[in-house]
Copies of this chain bind each other. A is one copy, B any other.
Amino acid sequence: MRIGVLCSGGDSPGMNAAIRGAVLRGVEVHGFEMVGFMDGWRGFHEDDRVPLDRAAVRGISPLGGVILGTSRVQPFLSGRGDEADIQAIRDRVEEYGVDAFLLIGGNGTQTVAQLLTEHGIPAIGLPKTIDNDLSGTDYTFGFDTAVSIASEAIDRLRTTGDSHRRCMVLEVMGRDVGWIALHAGMAGGAQVTLVPEFPESIEQISEWVLSVRDRGRSSLVVVAEGFRLAGDEAQTTRDGLDGFGRKRLGGVAEVLAPLIEQRTGIETRATVLGHVQRGGSPTAFDRVLATRTGIAAADAAEAGQWGTMAGLRGDRIAMVPLAEAVGHLKTVPEARYEEARLNFG
């Protein structure tokens, strides 16, 4: 069996370990021939391929990024995913002699995996996103690394906040879901954690910050990039618009910080963590999770479990039907937000 591997979407720490796990198991145990497409669907469209064998994946687990490259190039040339698009992929697949796909990506990529399988092009999904917003799995690889980096940033900012008696606002990734903010905030003991799922008013936020001051401490506010203020129909917080509706560079932290300072009288500073969260060497947790995901995907290919995704379920990797996994975001539930609020104010 010849299996094609490609990565799609933003990079996520652990992608190399996932590829390595799949290749060692697939090639050495199951006897597959494996091939990687460079830069996701671009390499597929343009026939930019590399062989994947033991030598190709040597020593790559600790490395950030991904040896195959990744991109947001779409699989469907028309962008619609209609029959002509599928046929174009089918033609390529035959040309390359590829029997099946292992697709490493987020929600969009898993949807593609399902669609391809439905159209007779066998595919298995390896879920990957630092945002942890995929259903069908407890955690996705990349998330733990992102949380670690954000948590370390909180530890650093806190000392400056305490020394200067400032309120520090840290913006972390999370356009639609607040998992990184939630976990990093809990790990770092943030006094306020703001997530897209639960809008709060600036009055409430300021009250928390003042209450922390009254207890003799400085506030550390963690905010997910997708958070918006309660009642902010224009979404100016989230979209970083200035008063005239013009798009501003910078993010929600840079909108919040002056509002907090204005209402509390406490000097407040914003930091936008940005791309630093998604790069660099993965944590041990993500390396192990990714390696096992790759192994399980190779085993599922051997077993012909097409249309599934390798999800983490407790301490096991389980193959989950893609139909169950795709199409709805995994958001922060209220009970988890309540846990975080323990520390608020």
Contacts and interface: CB of A to CB of B under 8 A. Distances in A.
A165 interface: yes
Interface stretch (A74-82, A87-95, A116-124, A154-162): A154-162
Contacts of A65: 158-160, 162-163
**Number of copies of this chain that the complex holds:** 4
Given A139-B315, A164-B70, A280 B159 contact: yes
B276 A315 contact: no
Chain A interface residue number, banded:
35 or more
A339 B292 contact: yes
A16 to B, nearest CB: 9
Contact of A285 (B28, B144, B295, B339): B144
A92 to B, nearest CB: 22
A128 interface: no
A228 interface: no
Contacts of A288: 147, 183, 186-187
27 contacts: A11-B164, A29-B342, A62-B188, A64-B156, A65-B160, A66-B163, A69-B165, A71-B164, A147-B284, A147-B288, A148-B285, A149-B156, A153-B276, A155-B281, A159-B279, A183-B284, A183-B288, A184-B284, A186-B288, A187-B287, A188-B287, A248-B249, A249-B249, A273-B276, A285-B285, A292-B339, A314-B314
Pairs A-B, 4 closest by C-beta atoms: A64-B159, A65-B159, A156-B280, A156-B279
Interface of A: 10-11, 15, 20-21, 24-25, 28-29, 39, 54, 58-59, 61-66, 69-71, 138-139, 144, 147-153, 155-160, 162-165, 168, 183-184, 186-189, 215, 217, 248-250, 254, 269-276, 278-281, 283-285, 287-288, 291-292, 295, 313-315, 339, 342-343
